């Protein structure tokens, strides 16, 4: 986190010992340690939250891509189905006309 060399840490400890005094230094060290621990915990939580949001955004993007793909396939399938229905209707009309013409030609002969 901080780029502090060991020699710099020793100098800081000696200055703290002189300024704060040996009686209050252990309590101050515990307090600083607790504060540092809480800060690290908060930073970890923030990183996890950012990662979770990034994953959520990726999943949402993937969902949108899949949804658009499904919609495109649905439109294409609907178009193909309409073409098949039209072909079937045309075939039914043609067959009905053929059957009617053959039935119509047989019916007068049968009378």
At 24-80, the pLDDT tens digits run 989 988 999 999 999 999 999 999 999 999 999 999 999 999 999 999 999 999 999
* pLDDT confidence bin for 82, thresholds 50/70/90: very high
**Residue 44, CA distances (Å) to 41, 49, 64, 65, 84 in order:** 5, 9, 30, 32, 59
Distance CA 60, CA 48 (A): 18
Position 64 scores a pLDDT of: 96
């Amino acid at each position: 986190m901080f780029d502090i060399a060991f020699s710099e840490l020793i100098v800081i400890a000696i200055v703290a010992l002189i300024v704060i005094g040996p009686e209050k230094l252990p309590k101050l060290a515990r307090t600083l340690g607790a504060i540092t621990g809480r800060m690290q915990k908060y930073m970890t939580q923030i990183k996890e939250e950012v990662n979770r949001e990034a994953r959520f955004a990726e999943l949402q993007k993937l969902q949108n891509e899949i949804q658009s793909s499904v919609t495109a396939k649905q439109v294409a399938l609907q178009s193909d189905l309409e073409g098949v229905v039209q072909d079937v209707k045309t075939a039914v009309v043609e067959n009905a006309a053929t059957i009617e013409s053959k039935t119509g030609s047989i019916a007068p002969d049968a009378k």
